[in-house]
A = this chain, B = another copy of it.
Amino acid sequence: MPNTNNKTNKSAKAAGKTILAKASKDVPMLRAIKGGKAAPPKPGPAKPAVKPPPVAVADDVPVIALNLVPAKLSPAMAAYFKKCQVKLGFVPNVLLAYAFDVAKLETFVAMYNDLMLGDSGLSKLEREMIAVAVSSQNRCYYCLTAHGAAVRQYSANPLLGEHLVMNYRVARLNKRQRAMLDFAVKLTASPWSVEEGDRERLRRVGFTDRHIWVISAVAGFFNMPNRAAPATDMRPNTAYHGQAR
């Protein structure tokens, strides 16, 4: 997911530049979005190993397991991709995945940015915490990787990201944050069972009705990519894994 605040390490940035070089020609950049299983392993950032590793190193090639023809980006989206490249060092793979259809890409970016980066009663960190707790319930590789990194960055607490990826109940949260995540995870696991009592529990720790909307919207939203990602075997950018450890 496009998180425009972070710093990436050099090797990812270098790889990013190559992608962007292609991106200026628009279509070739998206060559990465192609089906097939036998993606040629490219030399990745893994440490030297005396014996060959048992699995492929290039984890995110192709980006998804569907063979989709990339579309020509609109000026707005081309600019947005460039901005991602500059700020993050890469274009988040979810955007590359959507780029076969600019209209879909734009509606996704619009909703995502309003929800996760826009003004809101919840901090960006809190929204990312919900993203990870929900994605852990759904065991979503893409979202756990991308948003786990975001939690590590925003919180300046690498372990918090690990806690939320593995089991949010082990994180030492305050009552407000715990209630927020309990609500989000219950809503994810058994949405039919959420009722007034659950909203009351949020109000009791200080959330307003507007906050409850935001918590619900963020929890609800991640249930969408938590399906789209496994449905297409969407792979997160490898750079996320090493960020903010």
Determine whether A172 belongs to the interface, using a CB cutoff of 8 Å to chain B.
Answer: yes
Question: Considering only CB atoms and an 8 Å cut-off, how many residues of chain A contact the other chain?
Answer: 93
CB-CB contacts below 8 Å: A77-106 with B: 100, 103-104, 106
Name the B residues within 8 Å of A114 (CB-CB): 103-104, 107
Determine whether A29 belongs to the interface, using a CB cutoff of 8 Å to chain B.
Answer: no
If A54-B155, A192-B169 touch, does A35 touch B224 (CB 8 Å cutoff)? Answer: no
Determine whether A227 belongs to the interface, using a CB cutoff of 8 Å to chain B.
Answer: yes
- The answer on a CB contact under 8 Å between A191 and B138 is yes
Determine whether A76 belongs to the interface, using a CB cutoff of 8 Å to chain B.
Answer: no
Q: From A198, A215, A224, name the one whose CB has the most chain B CB atoms within 10 angstroms.
A: A224
Query: Which residue of B is nearest A106, CB measured?
Result: B110
- The answer on a CB contact under 8 Å between B227 and A172 is no
A108 to B188, alpha carbons, bound, how many Å? 20
- The answer on a CB contact under 8 Å between B55 and A191 is no
Determine whether A163 belongs to the interface, using a CB cutoff of 8 Å to chain B.
Answer: yes
Determine whether A219 belongs to the interface, using a CB cutoff of 8 Å to chain B.
Answer: yes
If A155-B53, A224-B223, A232-B216 touch, does A65 touch B199 (CB 8 Å cutoff)? Answer: yes
If A155-B53, A191-B230, A227-B219 touch, does A68 touch B209 (CB 8 Å cutoff)? Answer: yes
Q: Which residues of A contact B (CB under 8 A)?
A: 35, 37, 46-51, 53-57, 59, 65-68, 100, 103-104, 106-108, 110-111, 114-115, 118, 125, 136, 138-141, 144-145, 155-160, 162-163, 165-167, 169-174, 177, 183, 187-188, 191-196, 198-199, 209-210, 212-213, 215-217, 219-221, 223-233, 235, 238, 241-242, 244-245
A-B contact pairs, 14 of them (CB 8 A): A51-B156, A66-B209, A106-B110, A138-B191, A139-B191, A145-B162, A162-B241, A169-B195, A187-B230, A194-B231, A195-B233, A216-B228, A220-B225, A242-B245
